[in-house]
Amino acid sequence: MKTSIKVKWTIFIILLLIFNLLMISFFMLRGIEKNQRQSYEALLKDNSKTANLYIREKFLSSDEKDFQKFYVKNAESLVLGLGRILDLPIVLYDMKGNEIGSIHNDVGDEKKLKIMEDVLHNKIVYEKNGQEIVYLAPVYDFEKQMGVLSFEYYTQKERNFYEEIRKLFWEVGIVSIFMTYLLARFYLSKIVNNIFCLKKSVKEIERGNYEDVRVLDEKDEFGDLSGGIYFMSNKIKENIQQINDDKEKLQLAVEKLQSLEKQQKEFIGNITHEFKTPLTVVKAQMDLISLYRDDEELVCKSKEIAEKELKRLDSMVENILHLSRIEKYDFELKKEKINTKKLLMDICHRMCGKASKFHIKMIQKLEETYIFMDAESFMQIFINLIDNAIKYNINGGKIVIRSYTKEDKNYIEIEDTGIGIPHEHRRKIFEPFYTVDKNRSKKFSGTGLGLSLVNKLVKRQKGEIRLLDDQEGTCFQVVFPIYDEKIRNGF
């Protein structure tokens, strides 16, 4: 049998209220009891001090010289005086525990004898028997203990107050539980009705009737949940429509794949063609060496040409492999905070040997800037660009490496005084195997893959690369976002 959520919540609230009332009443009554105990302890302690002061005052006003004799001799009169002042049953004892004076003493000596030993050793002791408290305290002269003073105190008044408070708690608790039940039934009715409406909306979604889903006009979590269910139903409806649309787009995807397959075949054809050229040259030079072994000049020249073509072939293979890796294994990139000035100085140091062979001067204009990217990719990008700047520069020319910050971006420019790139070729320089001039490419051992590789690496690192216009030689500009701790945490 299913129990209504209204009943469950009502029972839960009532049980919670009962628990709270029990906890409050328990600690409140404990506090009252503790306060009452502290109150009568303080009262009895003050009474013992008052009694000691009264006995000393009587001694000083008498003609007696010995306090001990005065205390024993006048015990009865002292008890009567203290009884009038304190309005309590009082008993006085000497240092042997013998009673020497009493008034209204209704408690037997056996009860007092149980705790008398501690009081004779200069301690205050009291014993509670039901509603009666027997309080014993030392009596002092001006230097030492002379006897014992006993009070009898009744806590009936405190006990009556305690019982009245406990009864009040019960009465308030019963009324609170009854009122809570009525309020819970009234308040939870609306909540349960909202839940039933949400349940009905879910059932309509199960049946596929998305138009029958209703939104509750509530400014609370139920309204938010109802709006979420309505949004979900519309989203499901849109997704179903999207699936139908995707069926129509599937043919377009197939056509796209066919186009990519065609591009792949063209790429493989280009690779085959580019590989065939250096291999043909190497084969031809090897044939010349075999035919003219005695011609040392021809043999040396053929070896030099073969080595140059093999080096170009090796560079081409390396670039193709790297292009393939950055397409498939982007997850291997290790992004970190790097100092572009430091890395560019390191690259220039590596490349200065090659530049000096052609009497090329490298000028560095670098600002210290930090970016977030893979350091190895950064090195490969600018080694390629600076190598091209050296390779296609004029003898005795110069290369300017600039790095500066503008609008939260790091701009890095590699400018040379070389032969430049004609405007009609600038749009295709980042395509694989594209070279401006085949003869120039062979002359400088170019493969047509370096700039394509650089372009892919830059884009993988969320950067931009462009060839700047109106330059005497060639100027490539690479732009990266500068390091930002907030952006870094979002990665």
Tens of pLDDT along 43-53?
888 888 898 89
C-alpha distance from residue 433 to each of 317, 441, 468, 480 (Å): 12, 10, 22, 26
pTM of the model as a whole: 0.40
Q: Quickly state the pLDDT bin for 125 (edges 50, 70, 90).
A: confident
Confidence category of residue 370, pLDDT binned at 50, 70, 90: very high
Burial class (CB in 10 A: 0-12, 13-18, 19+), 157: exposed
Question: CA-CA distance, 181 to 37, in Å (whole number)?
Answer: 38
Give me the pLDDT at residue 107, please.
47
Outline which parts of the chain fall under CATH 3.30.565.10.
333-490
pLDDT value of position 460: 84
CATH 3.30.450.20-classified regions of the chain: 5-162
The torsion defined by the Cα of 200, 205, 207 and 210, in degrees rounded to 10, comes to 110
The torsion angles phi and psi of 339, rounded to 5 degrees, stand at: -95, 110
Element containing residue 247 per DSSP (H, E): helix 221-291
Topology, domain 239-332? Helix Hairpins (1.10.287)
Residues of the chain with CATH 1.10.287.130: 239-332
Answer whether CATH 3.30.565.10 is correct for domain 333-490: yes
Assigned CATH topology for domain 5-162: Beta-Lactamase (3.30.450)
At 410, the amino acid letter reads N
Mean pLDDT, rounded, of the chain: 77
Q: Find where tokens 């979002």 sit.
A: 490
